[in-house]
Chain A
Amino acid sequence: MAKAELQQTSPKMKEKEPPLKGTLASVFLLGFFIIFSWVSVYFLFLHRL
Chain B
Amino acid sequence: MMGETMKVDRRDAKLTLAHLYVAFIALALGGLAGLLQTLVRSGKFNLPAGISYYTILTTHGVLLGLVLTTFFIIGFQFAAVSRTSGAFSDRVRFWGWVGFWTMTIGTAMTAFFILTGQAAVLYTFYAPLQAHAGFYLGLTLVVVGSWISGFAIFAHYARWKKQNPGKASPLLTFMSVTNMILWLVCTLGVAATVLFQLLPWSLGITDRINILVSRTLFWYFGHPLVYFWLLPAYMIWYVVIPKVIGGKIFSDSLARLAFILFLIFSIPVGFHHQLLEPGITPFWKYVQVILTFMVVIPSLMTAFAMFATFESYGRSKGATGLFGWLRKLPWGDARFFAPFVGMLFFIPGGAGGIINASHQLDQVVHNTVWVTGHFHLTIATTVVLTFFGAAYWLIPHLSGRVMTKAMNRLAIIQTVVWAIGMTFMSGSMHFAGLLGAPRRSAFSTYGNSPQALEWIPYQIAQAVGGTILFIGIILVLVIVTNLAFFAPKGETEFPVAEAAEPAERTALAMENWKLWIGITVALILIAYTIPFVDMIQNAPPGSKGYKLW
Contact = CB atoms under 8 A, between A and B. Distances in A.
Q: Is this pair of chains taken from one and the same complex?
A: yes
Interface of A: 18-23, 25-27, 30, 33-34, 37-38, 41-42, 44-45, 48
Contact of B308 (A20, A38, A45): A20
Given A30-B347, A33-B347, A38-B351, A23 B361 contact: no
Interface residues of B, number: 29
Nearest to B352: A37
DSSP class of A's interface residues: helix, strand, loop or mixed?
helix
A43 B324 CA distance: 36
Interface of B: 300, 303-304, 307-308, 311-312, 314-316, 322-326, 347-348, 350-352, 354-355, 358, 360-361, 363-365, 434
A27 B303 contact: yes
A19 B351 CA distance: 27
DSSP class of B's interface residues: helix, strand, loop or mixed?
helix
B308 A23 contact: yes
Given A22-B324, A23-B304, A27-B300, 4 more contacts: A18-B316, A20-B312, A34-B351, A45-B364
A26 B325 CA distance: 12
Contact of B351 (A21, A27, A37): A37
B395 to A, nearest CB: 32
B312 A41 contact: no
Contact of A38 (B311, B322, B354): B354
B293 to A, nearest CB: 11
Contacts of A30: 300, 303, 347
Contact of A42 (B312, B348, B352, B361): B361
B307 A42 contact: no
Given A30-B347, A38-B354, A25 B361 contact: no
A16 to B, nearest CB: 8
A48 B347 CA distance: 27
B323 to A, nearest CB: 5
A41 B364 contact: yes
